[in-house]
Amino acid sequence: MDLEHIAGLHPHHDPDHRLLVLELEHGKANEMGTEQLDAFDRLCELVEGDDGLRTVCTTSRRVSGRGTPIFISGANVTERVGWDDDRVRAHVARQRELMRRLRRLPLFNVVVPTGVTLGWGTEYVLTADYAIATRAATFGLPETGLGIIPGARGTAELANLVGPAQALRLGCTGETIDAIEARRIGLVQEVVDDIDSALTRVRQLAVLVARRSPTAVAAYKQALLDGLGAGEDERLALERAAYELTVETGEAAIGRASFADIRAGVAPSWGPRRQRS
């Protein structure tokens, strides 16, 4: 993987765990603008084309001049000064599509918010398969106070994760919540003391993911996400198609032949990751 020139993402490849850790450090406060969208597009291309990578994690060790930890402070609104309405619409549509692409990465995606996580940052948490916050993390959606709405899938997806009442609370009031409250409402799934504890936990999860068939993991994730909000018949059809893919690609046969080794904790040589079109 050529990761050297993904600006601001500072990727660290951990081949032993088949893990890629992105440490955000750009701008004044890890705000997201055009340059970062370009970087994430490049990242997605690399990740989607590398079936040896099984887990990706995004975090930050950024600290403000006052000592406040920062994950993502929001979108880079200042770069939009002087833009006309059409350019703003196109830019936000691009953000929305990028978030969708990140949510659909064919591997296990962990987000570790470590401090200020506002607007775009809170929306970025929605791209995660699993979110582990540090105790210093805070979350909020200030957009309606700026005359806009959370437009990078925050309005479309937040209620699916935390329920409509909590989503309306966050979006309509702009109230900032801490990591414990974020866990209580389901925005994040775990809270740990600090970033090093979080990364230890991420590596534990990455070890488990790395033992599994990359085709089966991608198929499971795709069927599960495609089935959200669908009727039972459609969900079962998606499950059937995903299972049949594991049979057609030979992964199910590898699993059957290697059952004793798998029970002993030894992963077989799975085939390359393959997905339904």
CATH number of 11-209: 3.90.226.10
Would you mind telling me the total number of residues written for the chain in this entry? 277
Tokens of 108: 């296990």
- The end-to-end CA distance of the chain, in Å, is 24
CB atoms < 10 A from the CB of 226, how many? 18
Per-residue pLDDT of the chain (277 residues; tens, 9 = 90+): 455 556 567 888 899 999 999 999 988 899 999 999 999 999 999 999 998 999 999 999 999 989 999 999 999 988 999 999 999 999 999 999 999 999 999 999 999 999 999 999 999 999 999 999 999 999 999 999 999 999 999 999 999 999 999 999 999 999 999 999 999 999 999 999 999 999 999 999 999 999 999 999 999 999 999 999 999 999 999 999 999 999 999 999 999 999 999 999 899 999 999 988 7
Phi, psi of 17 (to 5 degrees): -105, 5
CB 242 within 8 A of CB 220: yes
CB 70 within 8 A of CB 115: yes
The confidence score (pLDDT) of residue 7 equals: 59
Residues contacting 262, CB < 8 A, separation 6+: 211, 255, 268
